[in-house]
Amino acid sequence: MLPAFSYARPLHLKDAVRQLSAQRAVIHAGGTDLLGCLRDGIMPVDKVVSISALEELYGIRETNDGGAIIGA
């Protein structure tokens, strides 16, 4: 059973940071680990903040110096 929590899916990074400042808030990225953690009740959670709509976190690209950046 999943516990009761509120859910937010902000569109901007700044808003995501603000939403995460709430009590007992956690990040929902891919959710492959989080959902199991919530079901098993291994941490108290009141709010889940999805970061899947944050476009600035997407993509893999080469940098000018020949390195690379991997979006989270």
Partner 1 sequence: MSESSVIRKKYPGLAASAGEVASPQLRNQGTIGGNLCQKPRCWYYRGEFDCLRKGGDKCYAIDGENQFHAIFGHEDICAITHPSDTAPVLEALNARIHITGENGQRTISVSDLFVLPSENVMVETALEVNEIITHTQLPPPAANLRSAYRKVRARRAWDFALAGVALALEIEDDRVINGRVVLSGAAPVPWRSYQVENVIMGKKLDGKTIAEASQAAIEGAEPLSENAYKLFLFKGIIEEELEAIKNNK
> Could you say whether residue 13 binds partner 1 (CB under 8 A)?
yes
CA 21 to chain centre: 13
Q: Which of 17, 46, 53, 55 binds partner 1 (CB under 8 A)?
A: 17
> Could you say whether residue 8 binds partner 1 (CB under 8 A)?
no
**Would you tell me how many other CB atoms lie within 10 Å of the CB of residue 49?**
22
> Could you say whether residue 37 binds partner 1 (CB under 8 A)?
yes
Q: Within 42-71, which residues bind partner 1 (CB under 8 A)?
A: 42-43, 51, 54, 56-57, 60-63, 65-71
| Residue that the structure tokens 């400042």 belong to | 21
Helix (H, G, I), strand (E, B) or coil at 25: strand
